[in-house]
Structure formats: C-alpha cells, structure tokens
C-alpha cells in the first residue's frame, strides 16, 4: 500500500514537472500564448512575461526530485541515508503544506490576483499541494 502511494505521488509530481519542462522550452499549453500562460499558471499581478526558461527548468527539476524522494521513502533504507530521506520527505511535506496555506492568505491573494490563476489556485493548485503534503506525511510516518 505504501509503495503504491509513493509511486502514485511520484507519477503526479513527474506530470507536474513535465509540464514545467514543456513550458521551459517554449510551450504554452493549456493557454494559447505566453500572456495566457502567465495569467493561468503564474498569476502575479505585475508579471509582464513568463519566468525564464532556466528558472523554469530549475523548478521542474526540483519537482522531479521531490518525486524521487517519494519513491525513496518506500524503500527500507536505514542509517544515515534513511534518516536523510525521511528528513527530505518531512521538509517536502512542510513546503507543500505551506504552499497550500499561502493560497488562502490575503497577502498571496493580493500578489497573485490575475484570473484565471486566482480561481484555479483556490480550486485546484492549493488543494493539490495539500494532497501532495499529506502523501509525504503518510510516507514519512509509515517508514517507522
């Protein structure tokens, strides 16, 4: 059961990372152009363009690394490496939990107010971050 959760979480994070890699190399889906993409997935009220390809590759790589941690949390590592994997999982749980919470706080809503991002953030992006955080929490706590 735990292995299935780890692999499902890794698959979800890989899909999210793949979208970021696609955007890093000039893709606009699910929007039709750059500003549509900015409005849909960036949402910052003062954004004039999409983030740079390099920055987006860094983000995509970090998301994919989180997927790797999800898989590693299902393996029976002991000792220092096992402790580091558990620590990484706990840190990722907190990061995604914070991102979830930010989505509903006034300072975030003011800074990321473009539509449809603001609506999608409340309905999809932030709840998805909560789901990911809870997945990491279960994986970390079930290790012991």
- Residues 27-40: what's their mean pLDDT? 96
- Supply the range of the domain harboring residue 15: 2-141
Mean pLDDT of the residues in the chain: 97
pLDDT score of 24: 98
Contact 103, 125 (CB under 8 A): yes
The 10s digit of each residue's pLDDT in 84-140 is 999 999 999 999 999 999 999 999 999 999 999 999 999 999 999 999 999 999 999
Alpha-carbon dihedral 138, 139, 140, 144, rounded to 10 degrees: 100
DSSP per residue, 29-43:
TTSSSHHHHIIIII-
- Residues 52-78: what's their mean pLDDT? 97
d(CA 89, CA 91): 5
- The model's pTM is 0.95
How many domains, the chain? 1
**Structure tokens of 17?**
């990372």
The 10s digit of each residue's pLDDT in 14-25 is 999 999 999 999
């Amino acid at each position: 059961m735990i292995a299935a959760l780890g692999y499902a979480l890794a698959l979800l994070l890989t899909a999210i990372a793949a979208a970021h890699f696609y955007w890093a190399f000039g893709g606009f889906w699910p929007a039709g152009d750059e500003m549509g993409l900015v409005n849909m997935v960036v949402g910052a009220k003062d954004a004039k363009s999409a983030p740079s390809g390099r920055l987006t590759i860094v983000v995509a790589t970090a998301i994919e690394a989180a997927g790797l941690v999800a898989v590693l949390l299902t393996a029976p590592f002991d000792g220092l490496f096992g402790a580091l994997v558990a620590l990484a999982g706990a840190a990722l749980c907190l990061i995604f939990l914070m991102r979830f919470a930010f989505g509903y706080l006034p300072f975030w809503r003011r800074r990321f107010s473009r539509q449809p991002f603001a609506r999608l953030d409340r309905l999809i992006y932030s709840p998805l971050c909560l789901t990911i955080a809870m997945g990491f929490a279960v994986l970390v706590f079930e290790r012991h």
